[in-house]
Amino acid sequence: HTFTHAITRAPGISVTKGLRAVDTGAPDLERFRAHHQDYVEVLRSTGAKVTVLEPLEDYPDAVFVEDTALCLPEGAIVMRPGAPSRLGEAAAMAPVLRKFYGDVLAIEGPGFIEGGDILTTEREILVGRSARTDGAGIEELRGLVSRWGYAVREVETPEGVLHFKTDCSLVDEETILATERLAASGCFEGYRVILTGEGEEAAANSIRFNDLMLVPAGFPKTAERLSNAGYEIREIGNSEAARLDGGMSCLSLRF
């Protein structure tokens, strides 16, 4: 699968107020911007057209665009974030998506679902229930994507983990990078699984984008495993997004 596009949003000043499970201090805005620019450059280096949207100061977490939509080849679906402070971000993404897609659908509720809980593979769409994504949100998504022939499979996000994809990422059509705690749930049966290195759970939120694998910097064991498996690695600084429980996948919509 080749990605021709990515949508990102530059971090705004308000990013220092972003949601976080554990407070390790506010992210440093300048460093966050520098990491974000590196990220955009690497996506662009694959030949994709990368849109960088202006910051949305009213939404401190708006840099994490992945949670606002699901982008499939057939159309896009605007999500309904379970974090009340993030609902408006999804609405702001809808007009952007209409520039790229003829078909833009939306989760209307009452359920909730965030993009970070959705892993799309060649054969199915896995959705993790989490503190942000509930059964009603998953059912509504199932109803919407069935028109395009996708099967949705509901899975569990490990306890205390923000999103399903905090702990996994798609490496190729049959290979998933995952933490041991998530893989142990058995949800990846039938796929090849590469485990993150010991103590490197945070490396699971990586992305494969065209011929590159974007991995957060500082996880050498995982980077080596991926590199040994034949993937070309690009390490991107993620220290500031990590303070807000964000990683490589959260920072873009890819299609």
Which residues contact ligand CIR (rule: CB under 6 A)? 18-20, 61, 64, 66-67, 83, 86, 116, 162-163, 165-166, 244-246, 249-250
Residue 71 falls in the annotated catalytic set: no
Consult the annotation and say whether 97 binds a ligand.
no
CB-based contact 69:77 (threshold 8 Å)? yes
Cis, bond preceding 55 (omega within 30 deg of 0):
no
**Alpha-carbon distance 247 to 216, whole Å?**
7
Residue 168 falls in the annotated catalytic set: no
Name residue 170's beta-bridge partners.
176
- Shortest distance (Å) from residue 230 CB to ligand CIR: 26
- Shortest distance (Å) from residue 130 CB to ligand CIR: 10
Consult the annotation and say whether 58 binds a ligand.
no
Consult the annotation and say whether 134 binds a ligand.
no
112 Cβ neighbours under 8 A, 6+ residues apart: 80, 81, 82, 132, 133, 134, 136, 137
Catalytic residue among 36, 163, 168, 187: 163
Q: Considering beta carbons, is residue 62 or 144 the nearer one to ligand CIR?
A: 62
Q: Considering beta carbons, is residue 88 or 229 the nearer one to ligand CIR?
A: 88
137 Cβ neighbours under 8 A, 6+ residues apart: 80, 82, 107, 111, 112, 113
Name residue 160's beta-bridge partners.
none
Q: Considering beta carbons, is residue 129 or 229 the nearer one to ligand CIR?
A: 129
List, as residue ranges, the binding site for substrate. 19, 61, 66-67, 86, 132, 244
Catalytic residue positions, numbered: 163, 250
